[in-house]
Structure 1
């Protein structure tokens, strides 16, 4: 006979943890069980590509919550076990340890996994991906013995790893298939700034380049590009983006389209099942309004801690019968060397950029307007601007661009009363 929990959460992640705690805060009183396939309790992931990789952050500081907090909130953690199958008719989840658990409400916070290199030699030793604590430990250990590293992918993870490896003293080359860094995420201004920041630290780039094969015997020794160039490499880290973990949802008949499709209340096509985090595709009014996601009801998948936490809160309210639609303004951050890039809203679809500060100084904010409305901003080392813009975007401010760019006027003063 299956165990029973009123709420079962598959995925011991940011979203899973937030969902469980927020369900309690919303008055959900029934038993809650969270299932995670890693041996660890839920932990912070952003430090893995930053301070942890540089050996500046200890693993003991990573847990999201203490065991006492989970116990206090009556949240049962079952780690080191994988969910194998969801039976929607019987409302049970079959687990890898041979047991099963019944549910009244089910939450899927299964996250995503790394895209893998598809080239000859990809199976060689010292080829790494970064998604979890075990990955970060392996990369850090390899970096202590390596001299030459190649990072494949100039996205956020790739750039953060490149910065960390360079700080550790490795010779670093980044291979990126697009014409510029973070091409789908930021405008050329930010791409150029970050590339220059890395080059000043000694990182080399091969843009508009593809890997033909990895060369070596048991372990990688070099990366050969399609151009014919061969780059020495004691280790390779691939940052090629992620694939949402939707197999459980797909197998039980839920609607899946670049993620588990949910509505504005985080409900899947089965009203007893919600989803949140990197695995979920949902209507985001802010990204869609910017022109990034198409129509207002078009679903997008946003890979960020903020998105995971905010959608999890929405899912928790739904589980607790206090349904509230998603309306959080998206934001994101990345640390590279001494620069903190903080992003609000979206830049896609902008028609005008208003600049505050000096790009050359490494302290500036680029604000993006579309149809006269502020839709987003990217700030570098200007946290006060970032916090103000979050309020301004939420207010759908239609500012005078001259006033917006006037450094003598504080951004926070432009917020409506």
Structure 2
């Protein structure tokens, strides 16, 4: 159907599709609708910018106006989409109606908010956007040097923030119900290696428990734990995970599961509507909240939009954990696979392989990794 291609969102997924599309199609009108300022930035930088001394404006590589010029697109910043009419092919926004020929949803994900008691529970921050980073930096600057930061969640993002804040000279307490950091992703030996790398530094691991409440005191924020313990903090960050943003799609009648359900081409259940990134649930794969699958989907969907139907082919790739204290690459096995971790020590490097009873490789993790070694192990996964 004729009409502009409209992309909702202005994150890496949205601009990724737009850039790839313009390589193939320089003529079709392109409109990008974003609820924020629509500046382009690399979201993974949010969890390693403190040590680098980066202010929020330094993370934004291009403004909305610069992206509009670069892409020959109309960028509607600070424009909230209220509803999608897939029959009429229109968006209702707080700035008026937008008509589309084809629509791409790059809505991202929202931080999971855990219920907790206390009069300061609303002060717990989740850093999922550059605007959130502005708030975090402001809080840290109010305290000055060596702020006391409690992080709820010792998964990928929690550990990255912990390492970054440590390098920035702050005191960190990491709280998680698992008995090791990165417990759901890393082999026990690698999780222990990360904990050992933090040993002797200004970081406290409070594992096997959860946060029950956050209250204001004269000395800052009192974080009470389910095991009866307590921690005093100047700042509390929540890093317990993200939930795909699907409310807009659900209201429009699109098929959703954990995310917006898409087929092998990134197409949703509505004609002419596609989705990718953190909001998408890929056929046979699920939700993939990482950069590599996002870029893979962006290239394929752009080709399809440009007239060459192209399936999204996700490859198993290791996730690079941004913890300079202990560099890790992790490719955990798929959920439900039965097997065990087998460690190989190669000098200062640990290679952990997850193998089934037949010795077949289903996942791995490496410390002090190299691209060649990652590629070799990825090629061995069955």
Q: Which residue of 363, 368, 382 maps to 1:381?
A: 368
2:90: which partner in 1? Answer: 92
What residue in structure 2 maps to residue 231 of structure 1? 231
Q: Which moved more, 1:341-350 or 1:258-267?
A: 341-350
- 2:339 aligns with one of 336, 351, 356: 351
Of 11, 16, 30 in structure 1, the residue corresponding to residue 9 of structure 2 is 11
Cα separation, 2, equivalents of 1:352 and 1:240: 26
Query: Greater shift after overlay, 87-96 or 176-185?
Result: 176-185
TM-score normalised by the chain length of structure 2: 0.88
Q: Which residue of 1 aligns with 2:296?
A: 310
In the aligned structure 2, how far is the partner of 1:125 from the partner of 1:351? 41
Alignment partner of 2:17: what SS? helix
Distance 2:188 2:378 in 1: 25
Change (3 A) 1:173 1:73: closer
TM-score, length-normalised on structure 1?
0.81
The 1:227/1:387 distance shift into structure 2, 3 A limit, reads: closer
Partner-residue secondary structure (3-state), 1:300: coil
The residue number in structure 1 matching 2:321 is 334
Q: Find the counterpart in structure 1 of residue 222 from structure 2.
A: 222
Residue 116 (structure 1) shift: 1.6
Q: Which residue of 2 aligns with 1:32?
A: 30
Residue 137 of structure 1 corresponds to 134
- Matched position secondary structure for 2:41: coil
Cα deviation, 1:291-350, whole Å, max 9, x if unaligned, reads: xxxxxx3x4111111122112222222222322222232332121133332234746536
Identify unmatched segments of 5+ residues in structure 1: 284-296, 398-417
Alpha carbons of 1:64 and 1:333: their partners in 2 closer, same or farther (altered >3 Å)? farther
SS at match of 1:224: strand
CA shift in 2, pair 1:141/1:93, >3 Å:
same
| Structure 1 residue runs of 4 or more that deviate by more than 6 Å after TM superposition | none
Structure 2 unmatched ranges of 5 or more: none
Query: Distance between the aligned counterparts of 2:17 and 2:252, measured in 1?
Result: 22
Question: Where in structure 2 are the equivalents of 1:153-168 lying within 5 Å?
Answer: 153-168=153-168
Which shows bigger deviation, 323-332 or 29-38? 323-332
1:45 maps onto 2:43 in alignment: yes
